[in-house]
Amino acid sequence: MIAAIAKEAEWRKDYLNEKVETIYFGGGTPSLLSISDLRLMIEKLKELFFFDENAEISLEANPDDITEEKLIEWKAIGINRLSIGIQSFNDVDLQWMNRAHNAQHAIECLKLATKYFNNITIDLIYGSPTLTDEQWKKNVEFAISFNIPHISCYALTVEPKTALDKLIIQQKKENIDVDKQAKHFESLMQWMKEVGYEHYEISNFAKPNYRSKHNSSYWKGLPYLGLGPSAHSFNGSSRQWNIANNALYIQSIENGDLNFEKEELTASQQLNEYIMTSLRTIEGINFLDDRWLMTDDKTKSKIILSAKKWEANGNVVLNEKILRLTDKGRFLADGIAADLFQL
């Protein structure tokens, strides 16, 4: 797999023409990789691409994979940001979500990680049937107590045809409660504001200067290159994604041909993507952005007209410079964005 990804990187070295500011090892469990494999990938990427000297290099890690030895090695090869999938500090929740780690693993890994890294983000899940209001508050307080500079919080979602979906249909597990999720999210926004975190994207909270550079680039609509099975890439006008099957991905590389699908984005699709991603951020839609300025006046007028309806209900702030969500509007972000989309 590592050899195949390295070969793909060689083939696609001209996909990005600008300075690279982030590397993100994720979309799986990269913390299981050996230190030699991670070092090889970083060295290969730096050989092929022009990197910013202060590039953010993130690694996703499961709590049960983190050891002191690994932390020291990761730091030594240039990893400077960790993304740790904590999910909860409560064993009942973790068991319900079928996570491999327990609450003690979560606590111990953060004690270790904060000794070696100051740029850490953790994931927390809210709105699960087993998570009480009191325990949700404790989860957030626990994260804050470790001085974690970046926290991502997501409502539990049940994907169709998954094991969890099947168990809920069979009534072997309780279904999610959207009202409970809304309550947890509302409380979360207030708690994070009180302790000085910036709610810079719907699911993301950061202390000053600790926004995720990688994710921020995506929300700004900047080009990115994805390497490996299922990896997506975007160059501003088209999107492509590699075959998902690991064995077939490796086989295609060995045969000298990358197996992927590609989609050319229409002007309307590009505008809709800008609406969708920018509306999720604290900055919102910038009416001075090139993607907005290049839009015809008729389309602009239709979007503004739709936005005024949401403004009247207190869900968005709208003026001559920006269109952005209010705290109230964050609950309805997907619906608002869809209402502004142009066919």
Q: Could you tell me if residue 251 is inside a domain? A: yes
Q: Could you tell me if residue 336 is inside a domain? A: yes
Last residue within a domain, chosen from 186, 219, 252: 219
Q: Could you tell me if residue 5 is inside a domain? A: no
Closest among 306, 278, 310, 305 to 292, alpha carbons compared: 278
Q: How many helices (H) and strands (E) does the chain have?
A: 15, 13
Is 86 in the same domain as 201? Answer: yes
Q: Could you tell me if residue 173 is inside a domain? A: yes
Domain at 289, CATH number: 1.10.10.920
Percent of the chain with pLDDT over 70: 100
Domain at 178, CATH number: 3.20.20.70
Q: Could you tell me if residue 1 is inside a domain? A: no
Q: Which domain holds residue 120?
A: 19-219
Is 236 in the same domain as 213? Answer: no
Is 141 in the same domain as 75? Answer: yes
pLDDT digits (tens, 9 = 90+) for 92-109: 999 988 888 999 999 999
Q: Are 164 and 221 in contact (CB under 8 A)?
A: no
Is 293 in the same domain as 149? Answer: no
Cα 101 from Cα 304, distance rounded (Å) = 48
Burial 19-56 (b: 16+ CB within 10 A, else e): ebebbbbeeeebbebeeebbbbbbebbeebbebeeebb
pLDDT digits (tens, 9 = 90+) for 312-329: 999 999 999 999 999 999
Q: Could you tell me if residue 6 is inside a domain? A: no
Amino acid letter at 243? I
Is 241 in the same domain as 212? Answer: no
| Full-model pTM | 0.93
Q: Could you tell me if residue 196 is inside a domain? A: yes
Residue 201 reports pLDDT greater than 90: yes
- Per-residue pLDDT band for 171 (boundaries 50, 70, 90) equals confident
Q: Could you tell me if residue 170 is inside a domain? A: yes
Q: Are 213 and 220 in contact (CB under 8 A)?
A: no
Determine the average pLDDT of the residues in 143-167.
88
Cα 23 from Cα 225, distance rounded (Å) = 10
Is 48 in the same domain as 182? Answer: yes
Q: Which residues pair with 61 in a beta bridge?
A: 84
Is 154 in the same domain as 253? Answer: no
Residue 220 reports pLDDT greater than 80: yes
